[in-house]
Amino acid sequence: MPSTHAAAPHGVDALRELTFDAVLFDLDGTLVDSTPAVVRSWLTWAAEENLDPEFRERMHGMPAPEIVLALVGEERFSDSLQRVLDLEHRDTHDIVPLPGAQTLLSSIPAGKAAIATSCTASLADVRIKAAGLQAPRLVVSYDDVSAGKPAPEPFLKAAEGLGVDPARCLVVEDAPAGIAAARAAGCRVLAVTGTHAADDLRADAVVDSLEGLEFRSVDGALTLVTTQSLEPRPASA
């Protein structure tokens, strides 16, 4: 689970000089903490399949169908995927909004934010409701695209749905696959640590938490601002 301590944004000064027409959010690990539920579901499935659970580290952020296909092949794909989805839909215990997520979302005017997730539409809905998150109206799920993250289509589709140029969008992500997708779509990226260390997140800026961050709207353009004094993050060794 990401730290609840709001360490200073790393490189956020560069983003504060920019304006955006829209903000596109990942869901799991970015807006909601579903990690315990996700881990329980996938570890149960991995044990049933006699799989090394370490696959989760290298495949985090990829859509579940692509993970399952890569691990079990086409012959067993449908049954295996259905089992994973059943497990994930049932386990909503301790899914909560991440610190600062709702405040950041609420600071964005209607029609200027979207979620682009690797979840199916039904699973995204389950997790948003379980967390009690007041989410943007537009949610682009795995069901809406032909290729999930790290392909750029989820963010391109979200930008299209909002009627904005992807180059004028800021993506908020927690996983390398999502960051790669955002980069390929031509978006700027703000990464939040927790599921991955800062050194693994090649984004325009990296934060330890969304706490202390908001967007201000001036003449229809969004600017990222800090709303509290934050101590500097120690430099990497």
Q: Return the half-sphere exposure (C-beta side, CA atoms, 13 A cut-off) of residue 150.
A: 11
> What phi-psi label fits residue 219: left (phi over 0), alpha (psi between -120 and 50 degrees) or beta?
left
**E strand or H helix at 157:** helix 153-162
Catalytic residue among 21, 26, 204, 208: 26
Examine the residue annotation and report whether 26 is marked as an active-site residue of this protein. Answer: yes
Distances (CA, A) of 109 to 157, 217, 218: 19, 8, 11
CA distance 203 to 171: 10
Strands 32-33 and 96-97: antiparallel
128: CB partners within 8 A, 6+ apart: 27, 32, 135, 139
Catalytic residue among 28, 174, 204, 208: 28
Q: Return the half-sphere exposure (C-beta side, CA atoms, 13 A cut-off) of residue 168.
A: 15
Examine the residue annotation and report whether 28 is marked as an active-site residue of this protein. Answer: yes
The residues assigned a catalytic role are 26, 28
